[in-house]
């Protein structure tokens, strides 16, 4: 398949998997409140409230993915990890949590986006495992990613909105990844791990935002 056609197929499949169910989910206004999820570092754990189930799991995943990413880059590119910025222009159409930073914030839409994104990143970890088969981290990351996705599904108001990719869609998404040469495969693994790391950072902020909103909602107002 030509590179341009492959990229177009990849984008369309990803858009179908991520956006089709998102647009069907409830979308309510939160009074113009904006969730900021940008930044280069994972946010510090909150000091006000104890960690819930999703938080240590997400931090653990972030740590493991970061270590694997660093290791893969140093070994495969023969460069120090500080040189990763030299490859920042290499990109793929991968899932994100943009809806979680919208001024029209919706808990259901955000959770659906996270759930769908985790499922897709788990799928792409199959490609990483194929190209980096000697790593003991990849199988562990895959299992923890599934655990986090299952937990996010549990806290969604209705699990019927969760997207389940068909076998044929999974196969087509994997085939659409750039893998024509050894260099392309190295770059693809690098970008997949880099973007999964960023996705986990955004997920921490998004889930914390949802949790704090829920606590504020159920906290009795002080009497005058």
pLDDT in tens, the chain (224 residues): 554 444 444 444 444 444 333 333 332 223 333 333 333 444 454 443 334 678 888 999 999 999 999 999 999 999 999 999 999 888 888 888 876 766 677 888 888 889 899 999 999 999 999 998 888 999 999 999 999 988 888 877 665 566 678 899 999 999 999 999 999 999 999 999 999 999 999 999 888 888 887 676 666 655 55
Domain spans of the chain? Answer: 3-26+57-85+95-216
CATH 3.40.50.970 fits domain 3-26+57-85+95-216: no
d(CA 132, CA 208) in angstroms, rounded, equals 33
Q: Which residue has the tokens 């599904």?
A: 153
Could you give the CA distance from residue 57 to residue 72 in angstroms, rounded to a whole number? 22
Residue entry with tokens 């997949």? 192
| End-to-end C-alpha distance for the chain, whole angstroms | 69
- Of 88, 113, 90, the residue nearest 100 (C-alpha): 113
Helices within the chain (DSSP H only): 3-24, 54-77, 107-131, 137-155, 167-175, 182-218
**Cβ-proximal residues to 29 (8 Å cutoff; 6+ apart), any chain:** 104, 105
Other beta carbons within 10 Å of 137: 17
């Amino acid at each position: 398949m030509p590179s341009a056609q492959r990229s177009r197929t990849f984008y369309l499949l990803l858009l179908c998997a991520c956006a089709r169910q998102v647009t069907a989910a409830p979308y309510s206004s939160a009074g113009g409140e904006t969730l900021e999820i940008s930044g280069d570092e994972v946010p510090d754990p909150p000091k006000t409230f104890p960690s819930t189930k999703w938080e240590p799991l997400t931090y653990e995943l972030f740590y493991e993915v970061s270590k694997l990413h660093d290791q893969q880059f140093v070994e495969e590119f023969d460069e120090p990890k500080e040189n990763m910025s030299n490859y920042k222009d290499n990109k793929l159409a991968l899932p994100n949590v943009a809806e979680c930073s919208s001024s029209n914030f919706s808990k259901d839409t955000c959770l659906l986006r996270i759930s769908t994104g985790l499922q897709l990143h788990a799928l792409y970890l199959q490609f990483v495992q194929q190209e980096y088969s000697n790593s003991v981290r990849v199988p562990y990351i895959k299992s923890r990613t599934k655990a986090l996705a299952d937990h996010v599904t549990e806290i969604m108001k209705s699990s019927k909105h969760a997207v389940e990719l068909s076998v044929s869609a999974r196969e087509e998404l994997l085939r659409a990844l750039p893998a024509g040469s050894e260099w392309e495969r190295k770059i693809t693994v690098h970008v997949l791990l880099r973007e999964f790391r960023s996705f986990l950072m955004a997920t921490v902020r998004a889930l914390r935002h949802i949790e704090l909103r829920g606590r504020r909602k159920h906290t009795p107002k002080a009497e005058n």
